[in-house]
Structure 1
């Protein structure tokens, strides 16, 4: 074998002996296992699965709520004066603004005058009722008088009829007695007819009296309405609270129902929107911890006092009711009302609409 052949044979053997697969580092293997284990534990913790399952239900979909109300004008008119300023605290019954009351004062006086007129008409009708009743009594007396005259005329006619048979009276006297009887009977019929007319007048007066009474009641209602409108020219705070921004100015023409300002009473509570899958152990009276974002996560204590009768989507205009084939199931939210303990210091700093994080202890 030549020297060149020996070198060619030796080089591949040297290269084969020099290359060897690298041994896995035990440290790297342990690190990979630790990372995998940490990832699994992180998923278990995020989904609150064992061993990280707790008795606390927590959500950041929660907000401070209050009885925020919008004050509006019941009557229209020019704003005479605005007696408050933006964000001012007011007491119940305090005057917020006044509307020019001249028109409403005139309407009240007009309503009172109309009431006086209707009461006068009713008084006249009552007098007419007494007069018609008296007329009925007069007609009744006339009937009785006419009946007596008929009775006397009948007696005279019978007497003359007997006498004329024996020629003891004249034909003229007999005819006179007959005419007097017919005249008395006609007078009786006339008296009865006049009584019927008087009785009908009584009925008509009664109907007119009912109409007059209704007119009086309507006039009284008009006075009450005018007084109410006049009273509402002063717009007052229905409850104590704090005002928002005033949206009307002095001299502005305000229509009925026009908005003035928002009023926020001091009563506050929390609405926590929990997933429907978290509602199994929620009960009234359970304690809740409230962390307020605006107060650097300051904690407040409260308790569950109400649970909504339906999910939040049921109260929206577009309800969750997908009947197509492209359906994706989304966990619904159930509003839970939490009462805040008012004895805590930071309660006075809460504002309606603030975001909070709520944790409800369900192990109780």
Structure 2
């Protein structure tokens, strides 16, 4: 009897164990299926960091630092005065350039006055030329009349119709009229040449004026450069952000392009997530992203895929791999994906560049 009871209990235990094993296998299978389905619609990685714009503040001119108005880690607004360079040398250059411009403008005024005088002289010569033309026409008419009178006197004198005195008078008047005509013609030619010469003088002076105008533009360009360099003695914040990497003190001699500090903007931060190339088959811009930040456990941020880099991270590294040489070992490559945050102004959870995050891209089911 006891043997039968023991066999029955053993059989029940085996059945129970089989049921438990089958249940666990079924649960495992269901969990595996759920996990696989989850992985299809949730693309995640822990190789991701918060990134953003870092503005390097550098001087555009050499000089001595006169004043610094910010400290490390201080928040500044766009347009805040950060640093001043001693402007003394640049003020002197502005004065010198301004004096040069004024001197050349004064010279231009002299040239303009000369042009006015030369044009006035040309107008006078043109008026005299009109008189000379009138005189020539009158002299020509007088000469023709005298020639006619002379010819008539010659004919009459041959016929003894006039006296010798009258004949000689007609001849004299004719010769005088010819001389006056020649004189009037020479005078007209002289004034015509004088006018051409005067026009040439005016052209020369106008060319001088053009050259002077060009010289003034050069001087004004130097003045503009001097004023621009003077404006560079004050350096302003290009964006809202926090001061970092401050490496300058009052009295330091700085050079053009020397980094002085940096501004980290927290308004335009984003996530750079390095996904495996095998994860990106269905990833595309615009997809929503769930973001967890290691600094704030339990807090969830939301964003969306902005863009996917055109190449792997290795390709753009300082020393890209040379797969054509040596023994090749296949390694899954990672491709950076840019993820932008949805507007978030939570003052209790400030996101800073370099923080580690875990983004999960939500893929819609097809």
Q: 1:272 to 1:246 in 2, by over 3 A?
A: same
Q: Match for residue 4 of structure 1?
A: none
Alpha-carbon distance in structure 2 between the residues aligned to 1:50 and 1:311: 28
Confirm or deny that 1:97 pairs with 2:98: no
Q: How far off is 1:344 after superposition? A: 4.0
Contact 2:309 2:337 in 1 (8 A): no
1:71 aligns with 2:57: yes
Matches within 5 A, 1:285-324: 285-293=286-294, 295=295, 297-313=297-313, 315-316=316-317, 322=323
Q: Give the CA deviation at 1:227.
A: 1.9
Q: Does 1:136 align with 2:122?
A: yes
Alignment correspondent of 1:274: 275
Choose which of 132, 142, 151 in structure 2 pairs with 1:146. Answer: 132
Cα distance between partner residues in 2 of 1:262 and 1:138: 71
1:117 aligns with 2:111: no
User: Secondary structure at the residue paired with 1:60?
Assistant: coil
Tell me the equivalent position of 1:244.
244
Q: Name the residue aligned to 2:194.
A: 194
Q: Is the 8 A contact 1:56 1:363 kept in 2?
A: no
Question: How far 1:213 moved relative to its partner?
Answer: 3.0
Q: Name 1:10's counterpart in structure 2.
A: none
Q: How far off is 1:90 after superposition?
A: 1.9
CA distance in 1, matches of 2:213, 2:67: 41
C-alpha contact 1:163 1:169 (8 A) present in aligned 2: no
Unaligned runs of 5+ in 2: 1-16, 155-166
Aligned to 2:72: 86
After superposition, the C-alpha distances for 1:291-334 in whole angstroms (9 at most, x for unaligned) are 333x1655432222411351244545656675569655544433
Q: Which residue of 1 aligns with 2:158?
A: none
1:97/1:235 contact within 8 Å kept: yes
Q: How many residues align?
A: 324
TM-score (norm 2): 0.77
Does the 8 Å contact 1:67/1:264 carry over to 2? yes
Distance 1:329-1:153 versus aligned 2 partners, 3 A rule: farther
Cα–Cα, structure 1 residues 345 and 230, in superposed 2: closer, same or farther, change >3 Å? closer
CA distance in structure 2 between the partners assigned to 1:283 and 1:133 by the alignment: 76
Structure 2 distance, partners of 1:360, 1:345, is 25
Q: 2: distance between equivalents of 1:296 and 1:240? A: 24
Cα deviation digits, residues 19-46 of structure 1 (max 9, x gap) = xxxxxxxxxxx9xxx9xxx9xx9xx98x
Over residues 179-228 of structure 1, what are the superposed CA-to-partner deviations in whole Å (9 max), with x where a residue is unaligned?
Answer: 22111111111111111122223333333333333333333333332222
Distance in 2 (CA, whole Å) between partners of 1:346 and 1:270 is 19
Shift of 1:73: 0.7
> 1:357 matched to which residue of 2?
358
Contact 2:56 2:262 in 1 (8 A): yes
Q: How does 1:21-60 map to 2 (within 5 A)?
A: 50=36, 53-60=39-46
**Distance verdict in 2 for CA 1:205–1:318, change over 3 Å:** farther
Give the equivalent residue in structure 1 for 2:285: 284
SS in structure 2 at match of 1:289:
strand
Query: Which consecutive unaligned segments of at least 5 residues does structure 1 have?
Result: 1-29
How far the C-alpha of 1:254 sits from its partner, in A, is 0.9
Does the Cα contact within 8 Å between 1:283 and 1:362 map onto a contact in 2?
Answer: no
Compute the TM-score of the two structures, normalised by the length of structure 1: 0.78
Q: Which whole-Å CA distance do the structure 1 matches of 2:281 and 2:109 have between them?
A: 73
In structure 1, what is the equivalent of residue 234 of structure 2? Answer: 234
Contact kept, 8 Å, 1:285 with 1:303, in 2: the verdict is: no
Residues 51 and 82 (structure 1), Cα distance of their counterparts in 2 relative to 1, 3 Å cut: closer
Are 1:265 and 2:251 matched, yes or no? no
Superposed displacement of residue 243, structure 1 = 0.7
Question: Hey, what's the Cα distance between the residues in 2 that align with 1:353 and 1:53?
Answer: 27
Q: Report the Cα offset of residue 142 of structure 1.
A: 1.8
| Whole-angstrom CA distance in 1 between matches of 2:213 and 2:175 | 57
Superposed displacement of residue 56, structure 1: 0.9
Query: Which shifted more, 213-222 or 176-185?
Result: 213-222
